[in-house]
Chain A
Amino acid sequence: MAVEVRLPTVLRQHAGGQSSVTVEGATVGEVLAGLTAAYPGLSEQLQIGDELPRYLNVYLNDEDVRYMEKLETSVGSGDVVHIMPAVSGG
Chain B
Amino acid sequence: MTDQIRLDAAHVDMIVAHALAGRPNEACGLLAGRDGRVERVYALRNADESPYTYRVDGREQLDAFREAESDGLDLVGCFHSHTHTVPYPSETDVRQAFYPDWAYLVVGLGEERPVLRAFRIVDGAVSEISLVVGS
Docked CA distance A82–B61 (Å): 12
Least CB separation from A53: chain B residue: B96
Q: Which residues of A contact B26 (CB under 8 A)?
A: 90
In the bound complex, CA of A62 to CA of B28 (Å)? 21
Among the stretches B4-12, B13-21, B47-55, B110-118, the one at the interface with A is B47-55
Interface size class of A (residues with CB under 8 A): 10 to 19
Cβ contact within 8 Å between A57 and B58: yes
Instruction: Please encode chain A, from 45 to 88, with 1 for each CB lying within 8 Å of some chain B CB and 0 for all others.
Output: 00000000011010100111010000000000000001011111
Cβ-defined contact, A89 with B61, below 8 A: no
Contact between chains at A88 and B62 (CB < 8 Å): no
Tell whether, in the assembled complex, residue B58 and residue A89 are in contact, meaning their CB atoms are under 8 Å apart.
no
Contact call B61/A87, Cβ cutoff below 8 A = yes
B62 A84 Cβ-Cβ under 8 A: yes
A/B interface sample: 27 pairs, CB < 8 A: A10-B99, A54-B55, A55-B98, A57-B61, A63-B59, A64-B58, A64-B62, A66-B58, A85-B99, A86-B58, A86-B61, A87-B30, A87-B56, A87-B99, A88-B53, A88-B55, A88-B56, A89-B53, A89-B54, A89-B80, A89-B90, A90-B26, A90-B50, A90-B53, A90-B90, A90-B92, A90-B93
Q: Give me the interface of A with B, judged by CB distance under 8 Å.
A: 10, 54-55, 57, 59, 62-64, 66, 82, 84-90
